Structures are given as structure tokens and as C-alpha cells.
Structure 1
Amino acid sequence: VVMRSSVMQIRDLEYVNAARAIGCSTTRILLSEIMPNVVNNLIVIMTLEMAHAILLEAALSFLGLGVQPPMPSWGLMISEGKEMLLFQPWMITIPGVALFMLVLAINLMGDGLRDVTAPEAKG
């Protein structure tokens, strides 16, 4: 939905109309004018959804609805470590910090990729 609205917004801009007026094909307009401006939104959405999927899997595993005990999962590790919280707090903190760092790294990677591929940065 976000990608479609971005494409619809960009297709009405002057440089797209100018490319259409000089006779560029639809494929050329799509690849050279629209896609470079839409790829930023795509990168941000993909990285946010990836982080969301990781957190969702961890939450479901914590609740017992995700992967089962032979399979490793940070949510499962946190769930199993909550019974030993007073005596071995690292059983929760290490998987929790690792999960936090992974999600933060994915979000920062998406932000950095967006900055690199931004058309306004290319000048």
C-alpha cells in the first residue's frame, strides 16, 4: 500500500511527465525516474518489517506459541530463564540484549541504506 501510494505520487511529478512527453517508454520511465525515488521507501519498509518479524517470533516463543524447545529462539531462552531470574539473571539479560542489539542493528542498517540510496543525496 505504501509503495503504491509512493509510485502514484511520483508519477504525477514534472520530470515524469517530461519523460513521457519526449516519448520514453513506460518501462524506461519506471526504471529511470520512478524506481530510484521509491527504493528508499522500500528499504525502510523491508528493514522495519524484518525487525518486526524477529520481535514477533520472539514474543510468540516467549508465550509458548512459537518454536518448540529443541529449536533455539531468543524468546524461548528468555521464557526458560524467567524461573531463574533471582539466581542467574544473565539467563534473561543476555538473550534480551542480543535481541535488542539485532533489532537495533537492522533498523540502523535500513537507515544507513536509505541515506546512501537517497536521490536528494546524489545531487
Structure 2
Amino acid sequence: MTATAILIESALAFLGLGDPKVMSWGFMIGSGREFLRTAWWLCAIPGIAILLTVLGINLVGEGLNDTFNPKLRNL
């Protein structure tokens, strides 16, 4: 749920539908789009941050589900 919220917020900010007063990873990627050929890291670093954050949250959630879900203990 949290990872999905991060992805949705980033996508909306990338499209320019977010709050322009608040800095977000999607806004950073959208702003760096025009400098992609000369300064690729302006888009790459926030993109990698989104990737690692969402992947980490999903892995922690799956680990907690595997540990504490009683339906999976019998398998």
C-alpha cells in the first residue's frame, strides 16, 4: 500500500499534477527531463531512489507476511 502510494505520487508529480511547492522524486525526474542528454544523473538518481524505496518496502512487507501470516504456516 505504501509503495503504491509512493509510485502514484511520483507519477502525478512527474506529470505536473502534484503540488509545485513540495519537492518530490517525480518532480525531480520531470524537471530533469530537458537535461537528460547532458546531465542524465538528474533523472537517474531520483529514479533509483524510487526503485530502491519501493523494492525495499515490498520486500519488508513480503517478509512480514511470510513470518506472521497464520495461513502460510501450515504449508
- Give the TM-score normalised by the residue count of structure 2: 0.89
Decide which structure has the larger Cα Rg and report it: 1
Task: Quote the Cα distance in structure 1 between the aligned partners of 2:27 and 2:69.
Answer: 39
Q: Does 1:64 align with 2:16?
A: yes
Structure 1, unpaired ranges of 5+:
1-48
Question: Cα offset for 1:50?
Answer: 1.1
Q: Could you give the per-residue CA deviations for residues 86-114 of structure 1, whole angstroms, max 9, x where no partner exists?
A: 10000000000000110001100100101
The amino acid of 2:34's aligned partner reads E
Task: Quote the Cα distance in structure 1 between the aligned partners of 2:5 and 2:22.
Answer: 17
The amino acid of 2:37's aligned partner reads L
Q: Does 1:52 align with 2:4?
A: yes
Give the share of equivalent positions with the same residue, in percent: 48
Task: Quote the Cα distance in structure 2 between the aligned partners of 1:99 and 1:75.
Answer: 9
Residues paired across the two proteins, number? 73
The Cα RMSD (Å) is 1.3
Task: Quote the Cα distance in structure 2 between the aligned partners of 1:101 and 1:67.
Answer: 23
Question: Cα offset for 1:118?
Answer: 2.4
- Give the TM-score normalised by the residue count of structure 1: 0.56
SS at match of 2:14: helix
Which one of the candidate residues 83, 97, 100 is aligned to 2:34?
A: 83
Instruction: Name the structure where helix makes up a greater proportion of residues.
Output: 1
Structure 2, unpaired ranges of 5+:
none
Task: Quote the Cα distance in structure 2 between the aligned partners of 1:67 and 1:61.
Answer: 7
8 Å contact from structure 1 (residues 62, 76) kept in 2: yes
Runs of 4+ in 1 over 2 A off after TM superposition: none
The amino acid of 1:55's aligned partner reads L
